[in-house]
């Protein structure tokens, strides 16, 4: 549930503030900012399929979730580093990678939760995980906004919020080895 909290928090932060970063800070048109945002959203669809297929084939879906957390953290911090010196192609590329990881981890996560509990507890475990995840979705953007406002920096706020899936990823990798 804490990994879900971290992942949803970062997913919603990136998606909530991506267009704002691109338009207000980097000067892209609203159409271009929307296209970059859409790329992240749309690539979440094949990403969910990819992680589902890989989750069925790897020895440890929990380890795969751990790696996804680490990649999500790196990409969130990278998005925070976007500046006018970045080409639109590279911004699209990072957005697509975030969509393939930071937007598409959910199905694999809930399948792994269901796999690791008794059948009688699946609905409680997945429902509880979803509840905790939505708390991350509500609190993440609020905390991010407070950090960005206090520091006048999207980069600092994105880097700080990226710590959450990094810790979750490391924890899931350690648990998968236990």
pLDDT digits (tens, 9 = 90+) for 115-163: 999 999 999 999 999 999 999 999 999 999 999 999 999 999 999 999 9
* Residues 33, 39: Cα–Cα separation, whole Å: 10
pLDDT digits (tens, 9 = 90+) for 8-65: 999 999 999 999 999 999 999 999 999 999 999 999 999 999 999 999 999 899 999 9
The pTM assigned to this predicted structure is 0.93
* Residues 173, 178: Cα–Cα separation, whole Å: 9
pLDDT digits (tens, 9 = 90+) for 95-127: 999 999 999 999 999 999 999 999 999 999 999
Tokens at 145, concatenated: 């906004």
* Residues 4, 30: Cα–Cα separation, whole Å: 31
């Amino acid at each position: 549930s804490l990994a879900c909290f971290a992942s949803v928090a970062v997913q919603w932060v990136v998606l909530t503030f991506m267009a704002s970063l691109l338009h207000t800070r980097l000067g892209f048109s609203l159409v271009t900012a929307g296209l970059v945002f859409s790329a992240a959203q749309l690539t979440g669809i094949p990403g969910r399929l990819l992680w589902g297929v890989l989750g069925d084939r790897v020895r440890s879906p929990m380890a795969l979730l751990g790696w996804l957390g680490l990649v999500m953290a790196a990409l969130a911090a990278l998005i925070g580093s976007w500046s006018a010196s970045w080409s639109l192609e590279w911004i699209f590329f990072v957005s697509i990678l975030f969509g393939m990881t930071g937007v598409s981890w959910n199905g694999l996560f809930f399948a792994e939760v269901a796999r690791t509990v008794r059948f009688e507890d699946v609905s409680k475990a997945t429902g509880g995980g979803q509840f905790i995840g939505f708390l991350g979705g509500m609190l993440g953007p609020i905390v991010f906004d407070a950090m960005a406002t206090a520091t006048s920096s999207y980069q600092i706020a994105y880097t700080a919020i990226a710590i959450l899936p990094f810790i979750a990823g490391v924890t899931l990798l350690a648990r998968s080895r236990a």
